[in-house]
Amino acid sequence: MNNMKILYGTANRAKLNLMKNVTAPLNIDIICLDDLEQSLPEIVENGKNPLENAEIKARAYYKAFSMPVFSCDSGLYFDGLDEALQPGTYVRRVNGRELTDEEMLVYYSMLARKNGNKLIARYRNAIFLIFDENTCFSSMDISIASEPFILTSVPHKKRVKGFPLDSLSLDIQTGKYYYDLTERTTLHDSMDIGLREFFENALSGLK
């Protein structure tokens, strides 16, 4: 039996590889937008939260490509930070401009420095999955959120393309960079478990 092919509504290969690892035990084959030799629809992500944006993207890609598709969106939130400075769904967008990985490191390093390197952060993540017009699954449950972490102003020397803020992320319990931990889960591991369970439940719902 062939694996079900599902489109991930992203062109970010780092995110694709992460999701492939998450779903490796399942009978699905995840591809991304770069794997399609078709023009992409223009999408305006004007949702009020990550789940609304994930749905907007998933529905647009399903309409364009007529195949099972899911999209994800994230919001970054800091404890005690003024509302005007909360990134929310605009993690990469500052003053109306999309930042590169390196520009994000500069901006968020400065934000951490201004707040004494004690900013407590969490990613709230959302996913919207469409199998067909009548079969959709979605979640913004805490099980697919990251664990709380500390944002620091000094980047780790390690970089992973597409995930620049991981280089600024410290484990709360140890104060160490996640990249330096050897015996504990990484920043994304708890989220990975929740995402795998989401796909398992969605696939079981098709039976």
Instruction: Enter the CATH code of domain 4-204.
Output: 3.90.950.10
Average pLDDT over residues 75-102: 90
Say yes or no to pLDDT of 204 above 80: yes
Is the Cα dihedral 162, 140, 170, 83 positive or negative?
A: positive
Q: State how far Cα 150 lies from the chain centre.
A: 18
Averaged confidence pLDDT in the chain: 91
With contact defined as beta carbons under 8 Å apart, do 117 and 150 qualify?
A: yes
pLDDT, tens digit, 9 for 90 and up, residues 47-67: 989 999 999 999 999 999 999
**Model's pTM, two decimal places?**
0.78
Instruction: Decide if 119 contacts 81 (C-beta within 8 A).
Output: yes
Q: Mind listing the pLDDT tens digit for each residue in 10-47? A: 999 888 999 999 999 998 999 999 999 889 999 998 89
Dist. CA 32–CA 11, nearest whole Å: 6
**Token duo for residue 199:** 């796909």
- pLDDT tens for 176-188 read 999 998 765 555 6
Comparing 60-74, 82-96, 133-147, which segment has the lowest mean pLDDT?
82-96
* AA letter at 195: L
Give the pairing of strands 149-151 and 169-170: antiparallel
Q: How do the domains of the chain map onto residue ranges? A: 4-204
DSSP reduced 3-state for 6: strand
CA distances from 105 to 44, 70, 79, 109, 138 (A): 25, 28, 19, 6, 31
Backbone φ and ψ for 55, nearest 5 degrees, come out as: -65, -45
Determine the residue type at 150: I
pLDDT at 127 > cutoff 90: yes
